[in-house]
Amino acid sequence: MKKLVLIILVLLCSISAFAQDYKTHKVKQGETIEGIAKLYLVTPFDIYALNPDAKNKIGPNTVLIIPTSRVKNDPIQEPVKEITGFKKHKVKRKQTLYSISKDYNVPIEEIKKYNTYLYSENLRKGDRIKIPKYKTIVSQVSLNNTIKKYKVLPKEGKWRVAYKFGITVPELEALNPNLGEVLQPGQEVNVPNISNNEEKPVEENYNYYTVLKSEGYMALNRKLGVTQEELETLNPELKEGGLKLGMVLRVPQTAKTELVVKDLENTNLSNNLTNLSQKRIALMLPYRMHRVDVDSVQEAKKAIRKDALLSVSLDFHAGALMAIDSAKRLGISTYLKVFDTRNQPSEVSNILDANDFSEYDAVIGPLLPKNLDRVALELKRDNVPVLSPLTMPEKLYDNVFQTIPSSDLLEETIINFVKSDSLPKNIVVISDSKHKRISDKLKTEFPSAKQIFSRKNKKGEEAFFIYQTDIANVFANGKNVVFLETDNEGFASNVISMINGMSSVGKEIILMTTDKNNAFEGREISNYHLSNLKFHYPSPNKTTDISSSRNDFVRAYRRQYNVSPNRYAVRGFDLTLDLLLRLASGEDLYKASSSEIETEYVENKFRYSKKLFGGYYNEAVYIVKYDNLTIVEAKL
């Protein structure tokens, strides 16, 4: 009897404790674990821990055990704006929604809200619009005290704040509907009201990755080189809750977090011009005009023909001027200051010492990496963006924009292009020993691929050829993809002519490479063979049909200079126009360079992503192919 009483007392104590630390919830039609977790300010992981069967299925009337939330319940005060009336405003010439919102300190969305026609029409001179007037009151209630205000620290972006407070980036954005693309130090944002000791620190000896839509463990393994087991070890919440869109994952420092390849719809920035203040741009190029006799036309022409840097600089400059003229027709005024770096570090230093760049919106150049590095480092303290126009910068400082995609990104793009084709195919990798790394990588990505290496001579040296017998039985009926990895023209010619002769009805051979270098452009290479093999390769730019008069830029360039633009002139136009449109569609270049924005112009496209501890790099890559002796963009 005494034992029974003791058991009853223990049970009563347990029930009492349970009642204090847990509650129950009866599931309603349409409810999800994630939604219920938000309702009670707990995580799905917490619910699954107490309700293991919920991992399989929950339905109406299912009773769940809900733990007590760890969220603090201290009352907080929050200022709330209350509309007291409206002020009438007549739009003046050159006024924009952006300038009006700044004048009245009212968000653009609030102006549109009370002038609904502005959602579909542009603001025009003479329009009479209503500007809301507010008074500020203090409220004690803020989402049932589930959130608190957090002041953003220097270098903190959305992902850092989301990770720190254990939420996804979309959840952070939902808590802050008017949150911009870039967080500013000192900016206050809404975050979950958890205790300070529950905030997760961002550790510098790890990388961090934000999960994209529909990404699973296999996709992350291919992209980051990290297994599901490794991810779950570093992020224990994955074992119960799984992957979610916008979730920030801690990953090893060796993970390839910057090689994220994704497709986006092109953004037409000219439809979203909100900042039409004059743009101040500096252009730094190695003209080396001190070496040119400008008094003699013949000597000047001769210098341009002989001096490659001068020729490239003048072509790029001409394209940039065309872009400035195009932007002007859209209402964007530009102040352009041109500097001759002379391709000398000492002259770059003189330019920096003699000029104040703190008020410039951006600097394009210098052309060569060492000089660009010097400029970027100097202007970093004023947070002035520096764009590397044609080369890869040596260091990607926070203020540097690498406008040319990296070779690693080119490799990833062509590999993903082949993987995205679901049709059956036989893959062959042919390379010389110098390119064994990429050959092995392709073998890893395509385990069934056949690897073939160039022959060696009797001394064991690379001979740069293969025999017909080496590839006699490697091609199957149907589709065959051949990756050729070399920078030797003779070896490229040997392989291309050989596999071209083996292509036949019922046995399609498509030639590809991860690096289209000069070996594929030499005199020994037949363009007819490349076209017959539908030669594919990744490229920072596509090739425009310059002979076509349908392209507005090409026609305008011909009228201006009596010659067709080359790729440097097109590059100057595309990059400069993109820069001006981005500056006119946001407060600055950083805020207008979200990874969700992809732009495309004559031959180039731009989608910038920020490195975790560094600047911005362009991750927009084309896959192009030879088709009937012309180069066109390849589509699946």
Tell me the torsion sign for CA atoms 350, 356, 358, 363. Answer: negative
**Which residues, other chains included, contact 281 with Cβ-Cβ below 8 Å and sequence gap of 6+?**
334, 335, 336, 337, 360, 361, 362, 363, 364, 576, 579, 580
Domain residue ranges in the chain: 23-69, 78-139, 269-405+547-627, 408-539
Render pLDDT for 277-312 as a digit per residue (tens, 0 to 9).
Answer: 999 999 999 998 877 766 666 766 777 778 889 999
Q: How far apart are CA 606 and CA 575, in angstroms?
A: 8
pLDDT at position 410, please? Answer: 94
Whole-number Cα distances in Å, 236 to 37, 67, 188, 231: 18, 19, 29, 8
The number of helix segments (H) and strand segments (E) in the chain equals 20, 24
Does 612 score more than 80 pLDDT? Answer: no
Render pLDDT for 44-57 as a digit per residue (tens, 0 to 9).
Answer: 767 877 787 777 77
More confident call, 469 vs 182? 469
Class of the domain covering 269-405+547-627: alpha beta
Residue with tokens 């996709």: 219
**Domain 78-139 listed as CATH 3.10.350.10:** yes
Tell me the torsion sign for CA atoms 32, 35, 37, 40. Answer: negative
- In three state form, how does the secondary structure of 147-174 look? EEEEECCCCCCHHHHHHHCCCCHHHHHH
Counting beta carbons within 10 angstroms of the beta carbon of residue 223, is it exposed (0 to 12), middle (13 to 18) or buried (19 or more)?
A: buried
pLDDT at position 265, please? Answer: 57
The pLDDT mean for the chain works out to: 84
More confident call, 511 vs 126? 511
Which superfamily does CATH assign the domain made up of 23-69 to?
LysM domain (3.10.350.10)
Rounded to 5 degrees, φ, ψ at 425 are -155, 150
* 214 φψ region: left (φ > 0), alpha (ψ -120 to 50), beta (else): left
**Both tokens assigned to 634:** 């390849």
Say yes or no: do domains 78-139 and 269-405+547-627 share a fold.
Answer: no
Does 259 score more than 50 pLDDT? Answer: no
Residue with tokens 């595309």: 574
Render pLDDT for 494-544 as a digit per residue (tens, 0 to 9).
Answer: 999 999 988 877 789 999 999 999 999 988 999 999 999 999 999 999 886
Fold of 408-539: Rossmann fold (3.40.50)
Does 79 score more than 90 pLDDT? Answer: no
Give this prediction's pTM: 0.60
pLDDT at position 263, please? Answer: 46
Q: How confident is the model at residue 159 (pLDDT cuts 50, 70, 90)?
A: confident
